[in-house]
């Protein structure tokens, strides 16, 4: 599967799909049918909305922050969430009195998904993620359960450990729909089947939300300070 041309030709439209989803997609022959096939599934289900609203009831504590992660950015959205918890611990605040939330949207969505999907859909190539240890396209989720060398500094808790400490991670359903449509088009598959596969592959503890920007708005309504973590 070759996402090289797909990425180069549709990068501009993908970066702006929130505002001009169909209009800008007309720039590429691949993007148009992918988006048309995905468009029927763009609206979140009532189940997704209800679960996402309930998930926000877990926001807690005096110190609250939400990291906006639209890009992989070498894992820094995960690192900064860990640093927020670490520095608050060091200054006298326990995890129980913190909210560290990371919103995985746009090109950062693969960090919400299992290694099996990274291999099956070649997420490393599609989303331009390099394995820090091998310096080649990653075939695994580097930051859920990181190995030594995956982060630029040692001792960083990955997503799984942070979740167990009470951090909150969510992933954009709208981006799952759109990008699974791109993947389906590139592989000659049905968009709805690929989307179903991606949703089933979201890692335990990571919440699917209607969209990343929806989640960022909800977080700020709950007094979470906003930090851009996209590079």
**Residue 213 has what DSSP assignment?**
H
Sign of the CA dihedral with 115 first, then 121, 127, and 133 last: positive
Residue position matching structure tokens 């326990």: 94
Supply the pTM of this predicted model.
0.85
Q: What is the pLDDT of residue 3?
A: 45
Q: What is the pLDDT of residue 19?
A: 36
- Distance (Å) of CA 192 to CA 36, 40, 126, 198: 12, 9, 19, 10
pLDDT > 90? residue 22: no
Q: What is the mean pLDDT of the chain?
A: 87
Helix (H) or strand (E) holding 88: helix 76-90
Q: What is the pLDDT of residue 16?
A: 40
In sequence order, the 6+-apart residues with CB closer than 8 A to the CB of 46 are: none
Task: Note whether 104 and 207 are within 8 A (CB).
Answer: no
Task: Note whether 138 and 121 are within 8 A (CB).
Answer: no
**Closest to 30 measured CA to CA, from 175, 197, 183:** 183
Cα distance between residue 224 and residue 59, in whole Å: 9
Give the domain ranges of the chain: 29-228
* pLDDT tens digits along 2-17: 444 444 434 343 434 3
**Band of the pLDDT at 28, cuts 50, 70, 90?**
very low
The share of the chain scoring above pLDDT 90, in percent, equals 77
Rg of the chain on CA atoms, in Å: 17
* pLDDT tens digits along 165-196: 999 999 999 999 999 999 999 999 999 999 99
Q: What is the pLDDT of residue 39?
A: 55
pLDDT > 60? residue 56: yes
**Band of the pLDDT at 43, cuts 50, 70, 90?**
confident
* pLDDT tens digits along 81-138: 999 999 999 999 999 999 999 999 999 999 999 999 999 999 999 999 999 888 899 9
Q: What is the pLDDT of residue 14?
A: 42
pLDDT > 60? residue 208: yes
**Band of the pLDDT at 29, cuts 50, 70, 90?**
very low
* pLDDT tens digits along 141-163: 999 999 999 998 899 999 999 99
Q: Which CATH number fits domain 29-228: 3.40.1260.10, 1.10.1040.10, 3.40.50.1370, 3.30.70.20?
A: 3.40.1260.10
Averaged pLDDT, 11-26: 36
């Amino acid at each position: 599967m070759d996402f090289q041309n797909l990425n180069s030709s549709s990068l501009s439209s993908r970066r702006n799909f929130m505002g001009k989803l169909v209009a800008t997609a007309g720039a590429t022959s691949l993007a148009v049918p992918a988006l048309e096939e995905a468009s029927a599934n763009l609206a979140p289900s009532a189940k997704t909305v209800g679960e996402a609203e309930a998930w926000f009831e877990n926001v807690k504590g005096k110190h609250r922050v939400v990291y906006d992660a639209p890009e992989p950015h070498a894992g820094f959205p995960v690192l900064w969430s860990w640093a927020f918890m670490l520095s608050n611990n060091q200054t006298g605040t326990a995890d129980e009195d913190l909210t560290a939330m990371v919103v995985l949207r746009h090109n950062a969505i693969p960090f919400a998904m299992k290694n099996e999907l990274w291999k099956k859909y070649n997420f490393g190539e599609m989303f331009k993620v390099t394995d820090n240890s091998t310096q080649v396209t990653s075939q695994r989720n580097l930051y859920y359960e990181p190995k030594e060398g995956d982060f630029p500094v040692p001792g960083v808790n990955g997503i799984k450990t942070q979740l167990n400490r009470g951090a909150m991670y969510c992933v954009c359903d709208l981006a799952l729909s759109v990008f699974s449509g791109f993947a389906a088009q590139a592989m000659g598959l049905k968009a709805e089947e690929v989307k179903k596969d991606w949703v089933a592959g979201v890692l335990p503890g990571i919440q699917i939300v209607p969209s990343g920007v929806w989640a960022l708005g909800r977080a700020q309504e709950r007094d979470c300070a906003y930090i851009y973590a996209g590079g």
